A and B are shown apart, each in its own frame.
Chain A
Amino acid sequence: QKEVEQDPGPLSVPEGAIVSLNCTYSNSAFQYFMWYRQYSRKGPELLMYTYSSGNKEDGRFTAQVDKSSKYISLFIRDSQPSDSATYLCAMSAGSNYQLIWGAGTKLIIKP
């Protein structure tokens, strides 16, 4: 079993919908959680960063961490065609530890 599980998709939704992307993990020591967005044939870019449990909001994006369930989510409100990309989750046990990556979920927003 992988340490971090992420559904590869593709997930296809209509423009304007609320999107929910998720990762589950098995290592209870993980404390730092990140979401990266990767457009086709480009490098990933950091989207959201959270420490420990709770929610973090940035514009149309909300990152949620539930450590008791070992489950993290990224919500995208009012989705746009420009949000079409692969979304990668990453996490680590400490600030000086290596990141453990999910496989990425391909998201398609249909106009």
Chain B
Amino acid sequence: DGGITQSPKYLFRKEGQNVTLSCEQNLNHDAMYWYRQDPGQGLRLIYYSQIVNDFQKGDIAEGYSVSREKKESFPLTVTSAQKNPTAFYLCASSAMTNTQYFGPGTRLTVL
């Protein structure tokens, strides 16, 4: 079954803690994306990567970091510098077109 998986589904973070969200795809897509979704605000792009070992900042990259060491994987780290991390995080991939396919999401809550 081809698709995008995200884990965990729910994640809780304490103040001052870094957490890493996992995103894996077996669609052989070159491009991968991380979005943040808050109620009533649609999707905001955090980071994207069009090729292994390369990635670019999106509109709201501050307080986040990513890596792209493998084509299939694009983990997102929410650092302690992100002051308001509670949100729904979505990972997507595309085959170098603008049609993006999404994973099921991770809901992050700060305690």
Query: Quick one: which of A8, A42, A46, A103 contacts B105, CB cutoff 8 A?
Result: A42
Residues of A within 8 A of B90 (CB): 43-44
Q: How big is the A interface, by class?
A: 20 to 34
Residues of A within 8 A of B98 (CB): 32, 34, 92, 94-99
User: Provided the pairs A8-B40, A43-B104, A44-B90 are in contact, do residues A98 and B45 lie with their beta carbons within 8 angstroms?
Assistant: yes
Query: Quick one: which of B40, B43, B48 contacts A101, CB cutoff 8 A?
Result: B43
User: B96: CB under 8 A from chain A?
Assistant: yes
User: Provided the pairs A41-B105, A42-B104 are in contact, do residues A103 and B42 lie with their beta carbons within 8 angstroms?
Assistant: yes
Q: Is the interface of A mostly helix, strand, loop or mixed?
A: loop
User: Provided the pairs A94-B98, A95-B98, A99-B100 are in contact, do residues A43 and B105 lie with their beta carbons within 8 angstroms?
Assistant: yes
User: B107: CB under 8 A from chain A?
Assistant: yes
- Which residue of chain A has its CB nearest to the CB of B50? A96
A94 to B96, CA, bound (A): 11
A10 to B65, CA, bound (A): 34
Q: Convert A72-98 into 0s and 1s, putting 1 for each residue whose CB lies closer than 8 angstroms to a CB of B.
A: 000000000000000010001011111
A94 to B92, CA, bound (A): 18
User: B53: CB under 8 A from chain A?
Assistant: no
User: B84: CB under 8 A from chain A?
Assistant: no
Does B107 lie within 8 Å of A41, measured CB to CB? yes
Residues of A within 8 A of B88 (CB): 41
Q: Given A41-B107, A96-B96, output 9 extra A-B contacts at Cβ < 8 Å.
A: A8-B40, A43-B4, A43-B102, A44-B102, A46-B99, A98-B58, A99-B98, A101-B43, A103-B41
Q: Which A residues fall within an 8 A CB radius of B?
A: 6, 8, 32, 34, 36, 41-46, 49, 88, 92, 94-99, 101-104
List 10 interface pairs A-B (beta carbons < 8 Å), by A numbering.
Answer: A6-B42, A34-B98, A42-B105, A43-B102, A46-B100, A49-B99, A98-B98, A99-B98, A101-B42, A103-B40
